[in-house]
Amino acid sequence: MAIYLKQFSTHAEYDAYINGSDAILPNVSICTTEGDVHYNPSTPPTPVETRLVAKYNVEDTEYETTLYYDTDNFSAMEIDGVEQQNVTTGYTFSTTGEHTVKYTLTDPTSIGDNTFQNCTGLTSIDIPNSVTSIGSQTFYDCYSLSSITIPDSVTSIGDSAFYSCKSLTSVTIPNSVTSIGDDTFSDCSGLTSVIIGSGVTSIGRLAFGWCYSLTSINIPNSVTSIGEGAFYGCNSLTSITIPDSVTSIDYAAFCGCPLDDETKNKILAIGEYAFECSL
């Protein structure tokens, strides 16, 4: 918000407009005798969100879903705009259709291990930008999960975090993430689009195993190693970019991937057993 002050020989350090001029003086010390000074902070703070928002699709009013697996992860929740008290992990929605649940994280920097494991009614999740880590098996077998945004604040994603999220069609791994763990997106059979951020240096064991719908992927030149069976069974994967930064490709990393001969030869020059198919 703009702030207007009448200034009399006063010192300030801000971006400023002086006396109605269009000229901006960024990050300077200003001393004026008199005049209207329009101040704008040079780096306004980015608001930090700590509420996690999840949507559930309920087809049967008798259907009970697991709102969360680890109750230590949340201090409060709101269901369809109503604050809840003493809700157990099992909860029966009273009406069919889509329901919105907002959680207040006990630790705003982390979504812990197994938090939403087997939440079969979970369809989308909005992770707040306070979160820096997503635990192991956090969304394990959430097979209705079709939409998720991983914010730039996240630096680590645990093993099997999205294992068997079969309805997930696209995912963007931000530049802030440094590694993709074991089985992270394994058995995400509906996954067609993956963008790997430029901060990732390693792709773990079976990270994208059995992602049958994945047709192409670009490995950024930050990656140095591709783990055992990383793309095992990705039988629609016809295009992949392997940068020169990759120095290690483990056993069966590309088992069943119908890649062109030029790409295969490049991969085999780095990992001679990359196309083996017995894990």
* Token pair listed for 21: 């001029």
Type of residue found at 2: A
Given a cut of 80, whether residue 30 has pLDDT beyond it is: no
Specify whether 118 is located in the same domain as 223.
yes
* pLDDT 10s digits, 114-145: 888 888 889 999 999 999 999 999 999 999 99
Report the chain's mean pLDDT, rounded to a whole number.
83
223 domain residue, yes or no:
yes
Q: Would you say residue 72 lies in a domain?
A: no
Distance CA 76, CA 114 (A): 18
Q: Which tens digits make up the pLDDT trace of 182-209?
A: 999 999 999 999 999 999 999 999 999 9
Kindly give the pairing relationship between strand 170-173 and strand 179-180.
unpaired
The more confidently predicted of residues 92 and 220 is 220
Burial of 142-168, coded b for 16+ CB within 10 Å and e otherwise, reads: bbbbbebebeebbbbbbbbbbbbbbbb
Q: How confident is the model at residue 49 (pLDDT cuts 50, 70, 90)?
A: confident
pLDDT at residue 20, as a whole number: 46
More confident of the two residues 263 and 43: 263
147 and 242 assigned to the same domain = yes
**26 and 123 fall within a common domain:** no
Most confident of 57-71, 80-94, 264-278: 264-278
Within a domain: 15: yes
- Kindly state whether residue 51 falls inside one of the protein's structural domains: no
Decide if pLDDT at 16 tops 50. Answer: no
Q: pLDDT exceeding 90 applies to what percent of the chain? A: 59
Q: Are 260 and 126 contained in the same domain?
A: yes
Does residue 67 fall inside a structural domain?
A: no
Answer yes or no: do 33 and 148 share one domain: no
User: Is the distance from CB of 275 to CB of 267 less than 8 angstroms?
Assistant: yes
Report yes or no on 101 lying in a domain: no
Report d(CA 98, CA 58) in Å as an integer.
6
133/266 same-domain check: yes
Kindly report which listed range (112-116, 219-223, 258-262, 266-270) carries the lowest average pLDDT score.
Answer: 112-116
Specify the CATH number for the domain of residue 201: 3.80.10.10
Residue with the bigger pLDDT between 92 and 244: it is 244
Query: Quick check: is 75 in a domain?
Result: no
Write down the pTM of the prediction: 0.79
Same domain for 122 and 248, yes or no, is: yes
On whether both 142 and 260 belong to a single domain, the answer is yes
29 and 115 belong to one structural domain: no
Task: Please report whether residue 91 resides in a domain.
Answer: no
Examine the domain organization and report whether 125 and 257 are in the same domain.
yes
The predicted structure's pLDDT at residue 70? 67
Tokens of 50: 């700590």
- Which pLDDT does position 196 carry in this prediction? 96
User: What's the rounded mean pLDDT across residues 47-52?
Assistant: 77
- The yes-or-no verdict on residue 107 having pLDDT over 60 is yes
Judgement on whether residues 115 and 36 belong to the same structural domain of the protein: no
Answer yes or no: are the C-beta atoms of 190 and 211 closer than 8 Å. no
For residues 23 and 127, membership in a common domain is answered with no
Mean pLDDT over 238-246 rounds to 96
Say if residues 138 and 117 touch (Cβ distance below 8 Å).
yes
Which residues constitute the domain of residue 8? 3-40
Domain count, the chain: 2
